[in-house]
Structure formats: C-alpha cells, structure tokens
Amino acid sequence: MRWTIALAVTFFATSAHAGRTRFGWLYDTETVPQRGVELETWMLEEDHKGSPPVDETSLWLAPVIGVTDQVELAFPIEFSFTSDATGSRTDLDRLGAELRWRLTSPDPVESGPFSALVRLAAKRLVTDRGAIRLEPGLVLGLDFWRVHLVADIEGVIEIPDVGNVRSEFRPGAGLSLQIAGELRAGGEFYSEIGLFDNPTVTWFAVGPVVSWTHGRVWMVASCPIGLQNITAAPRLNWAVAF
Amino acid sequence: MMLLLWAALTLFADPGHIAGKVTVRRGEVAVDASGVVVYVVGFSEPPPANAAEIRQHEKRFEPDLLPITAGQTVSFPNGDPFFHNVFSLSPTRKFDLGQYPRGETKTKQFPNVGVVEVYCNIHPEMAATILVLPNRRFARAAAEGWFRIGGVPPGRWTVYAYSRRAIAPVSASVEVRSGGTTEVQLSLEETRVEVSHTNKFGETYREPGKYRP
C-alpha cells in the first residue's frame, strides 16, 4: 500500500547517527544520540616501528555518553604492550576524558553532505604522573552517493613533569564505500609525525578498511601497510550501544 | 503550448471541493471513522510554514496518524513525566531523537513524500504514522465518516482514504471542476491489528516491566 504515495528517496541508507566510525585510525563525524551510551573498544598494533624496531599493541576502552545530539563525552583508559630488543612490558598508559562536538546537525537530511567534528582529549600519563597529554583534532566529512570521505587532522601535545614538550601531528584521510546494507569497504591513509625534537618515530601507512553496523553493534577492521618506519598497523574497533 | 495553456488554466481557475463519506467497517460492523485521513494526489504544493505536532502523552502518540506536506516540520513534545526516545527506521525518513524528558520538544523536517512509521525505543506500545503528502489537500474524517477538502485545483485527481488499521488504503478517481464540489464515497475495511515492531536497534523489545517501572 505504501507505493500509493511513496515517492520516497532515501537520502542516505545508513542510520541517522550512531556514534560510529567507518575507519580504523581516523576519527569520524557521527556522535551518540542524546543520553545514549556506547562502550567503545580499540585494539591496535604498530609492527616493527622505527629503528631499532619496536612492536606495540594497545588497548583503548571507553564509555561514550551522548551529552546532546551533537556532543559526546568519552572516558578512555589506555593500555599498551611494548616489545623491543631489550625486552617487553605492559603498562596502564593513560586515563582521561575526551569531548567530541559535531558542528553540523547529526541528521544527514538536515545537515546536507558536509559534516564536521572537533574533539579535545585531556589525559593523565600514568607512567609520568606529573604530565598531561592534550589531543586536539578536527574531522571533516563529505557524503555523496554511497561514498563517505573523511579528512582528519589530529595533534598530540604532551607536557611532561620534567623535560621538553613533545608534540605530534597526525594527518589522515579515508574513503568508505557502502557495499550492501550497513557493510562498507574502503581505504585510509594515516600518519604520525613527530614535531620539533620529538623522539617519537614518524611513520606513514595506507591500507584497506572494512566496517559493519548491525543493530546496536558497529565494528571496523583496518590493515594499513607501512610506507615508512613501520611494516603494518592493523587495528580493530568495535562498540556496543545502549 | 497546450501544456502551458493547461497549466495556466489550472493555476488561475477557481479551486473546487471534494466532499463525501468514508464508511469504515470491521467485519460487518460500521465503526468510528475519525481515524481516517482522506487526501488527494496528482499535484504538488509548498508546505505550510507552521510545524505539525505529535505529542507523547500517557505512553501514546497523539495523534497516531498525522498527514503533513512534504517539506513540513513536525515537533515531538514529551508530555509524560518520564523519558521517551522517538525514532523511525522508515526508508522515507530515518531519524533518532535520542532520549528526552517531560517539557522538552524535538523537531524533524520531512522533505520526501512517503509513509513514516514512528515508535518509541523505550515503550513498544507507542506507534504512530506520518503521511508525508505532496500537497495540503487532505482532511481527517468525522466520526460518522463525512469529510470535505477545499482548495483543490480543477483536474482529474485520485482521492485516497488511509487508516492505520486498514491493510491498504482505498482510492477513487475524481474530476474536480472550477468552483464545484465533487462527491465521492469510499469504503475501508479495518482488519489490521497493531503490527509488532522492533526497537531502533532492530531487536525485539524487552518484556514490559521487567527492566523498568
């Protein structure tokens, strides 16, 4: 019966907003609806990073709370396992809070094809108790046809208790194509660039990414291959909404 | 040339009326027709500036059938002393208003013509339908079934009667003449009970009262 007046065109086949990302290493522009909660988990690897090579596996866990339809707040806890020629160790790295503010309407019909999100995280370094780490970021999104494009510009500023400020620039970009339903595939480029006298290894990687949303769960698998100073950076993100 | 002439005649001709009666039956029994919306399709008009409203009151959407014009905005005030989460998974207009308490109102615009089924993610008994129509020529039938739609441009159009409890709307072709009133009789069979639906995650609702008061 619905065809009698149905001249409907679905603007985007994806749900209005679920707080998900469609990329592994890049932030995205969706936010959790007001008073919604997600439990978000990231597992990421950095294989043979730098010289001499270091292997790192990190775990990021956070509840993400929709403060309004455009503002969400995350409380991440970050663990890492590091292995190099001298041995290995597991650390509780960082604790903190992260604010993500979508600048455009969360409804794609109302916001149009462009979306933008700014974020700011403030974290305490557990292994350097007097230090603070700030992570500002800007994410720009564009949707057309089945394609979702993102440009992500992130920064990291660590102010230690003693010593010099460490800073990083983390630009990236990605493309996600809707394959069927909520299954998407694409690619992403991501980099971490140490600024000034930062001892952090600069690396670049590019690779495929697959994302899927099913009901209250979304997940992303990404496997960038290293272009410089890293062999691979596989990553798995998933979340459960409540 | 002929098309332009027809368009000009239609534009400047006096509008007509469509009037008549909808008979609603459930089995052999004639029932209240006030849940029926009658509308005309075949031409488009811009939406009115004012927003339509679906209120959340005593765990119900009021009204549960709302006709609007494509491009119009609908506001969803919460009049209950507890949270609601209004959402739709209809392809015509997907949206999720999030949870909000009494006294708050959220709005959505509906740019595309079609049927939008609206639910609450917390209360499965709450359901409403928004008919997003191409023009403003619609009316709600009286309890006895009488209706009258004014301002209809002259021409041959199709009139529909829609009820949330009917399996399908019924229609009739009408010829509207300038300044005249076209009579039409429509008959609807209400057989459909409220269709069960999923929550906004596509899951069956939890057993009522098990996890909430």
d(CA B69, CA B39): 11
Cβ B135 vs Cβ B67: under 8 Å: no
CA triple B92-A108-A104, angle to 5 deg: 155
- Residue whose C-alpha is closest to residue A19's, from A66, A77, A68: A66
B44 and A CB contact within 8 Å: no
Sign of CA dihedral B95, B96, B100, B102: positive
Mean pLDDT by 10 residues, chain B (213 residues): 55 83 91 94 96 96 97 97 95 93 95 96 95 97 96 96 92 94 94 82 78 53
Which residue is it, tokens 């129509």?
Answer: B133
> Per-residue pLDDT for chain A (242 aa), expressed as one digit of tens each?
333 333 333 333 334 345 688 999 999 999 999 999 999 999 999 999 988 899 999 999 999 999 999 999 999 999 999 998 889 999 999 999 999 999 999 988 888 999 999 999 999 999 888 899 999 999 999 999 999 999 999 999 999 888 888 899 999 999 999 999 899 999 999 999 988 766 677 999 999 999 999 989 999 999 999 999 999 999 999 999 98
A87: which residues sit within 8 A by CB, 6+ positions away?
none
Subunit contact A4:B93, Cβ cutoff 8 A:
no
pLDDT of residue A161: 84
CA B90 to chain centre: 14
Disruptive mutation site among A3, A4, A37 for chain B (greatest number of B CBs within 10 Å): A4
Cα nearest neighbour of B131 on chain A: A5
Task: Give A72 to chain B, closest Cα distance, Å.
Answer: 13
Tokens of A37: 């909660």
- Residue whose C-alpha is closest to residue B37's, from B64, B55, B76, B77: B64
- Residue whose C-alpha is closest to residue A30's, from A74, A65, A69, A75: A69
pLDDT tens sequence across B4-42: 555 555 555 789 999 999 999 988 899 999 999 999 999
With beta carbons under 8 A apart, name residues in chain B contacting A11.
111-112
Subunit contact B95:A107, Cβ cutoff 8 A:
yes
B42 and A CB contact within 8 Å: no
With beta carbons under 8 A apart, name residues in chain B contacting A20.
none
Tokens of A224: 């960038």
DSSP assignments along chain B, one per residue: -HHHHHHHHHHHSPPEEEEEEEEEEETTEE---TTEEEEEESS--PPPSSPEE-EEETTEEESSEEEEETT-EEEEEB-SSS-EEEEE--TT--EEEEEE-TT-EEEEE--S-EEEEEEESS-TT-EEEEEEESSS-EEEPPTTSEEEEEEEPSEEEEEEEEETTBSS-EEEEEEE-TT-EEEEEEEEEB-PPPPP---TTS-PPPPTTTS--
Cα nearest neighbour of A18 on chain B: B96
Find the CB nearest A8 among B98, B100, B113: B113
With beta carbons under 8 A apart, name residues in chain B contacting A9.
112
Exposure of B101 in the CB half-sphere (CA atoms within 13 A) = 3
Q: Identity (one letter) of the amino acid at B210?
A: K
Which residue is it, tokens 């009970």?
Answer: B193
- Residue whose C-alpha is closest to residue B203's, from A220, A214, A93: A214
Subunit contact B201:A5, Cβ cutoff 8 A:
no
- Residue whose C-alpha is closest to residue A63's, from A53, A52, A74, A71: A74
Tokens of A138: 């800007």
With beta carbons under 8 A apart, name residues in chain B contacting A71.
none
pLDDT of residue B11: 53
ω into A52 cis (within 30 of 0): yes
For residue A187, the cross-strand partners are: A175, A208
Domains and CATH numbers, chain B: 13-45+136-205 (2.60.40.1120), 48-133 (2.60.40.420)
Tokens of A239: 């979340």
Disruptive mutation site among A1, A2, A3, A5 for chain B (greatest number of B CBs within 10 Å): A5
With beta carbons under 8 A apart, name residues in chain B contacting A69.
97-98
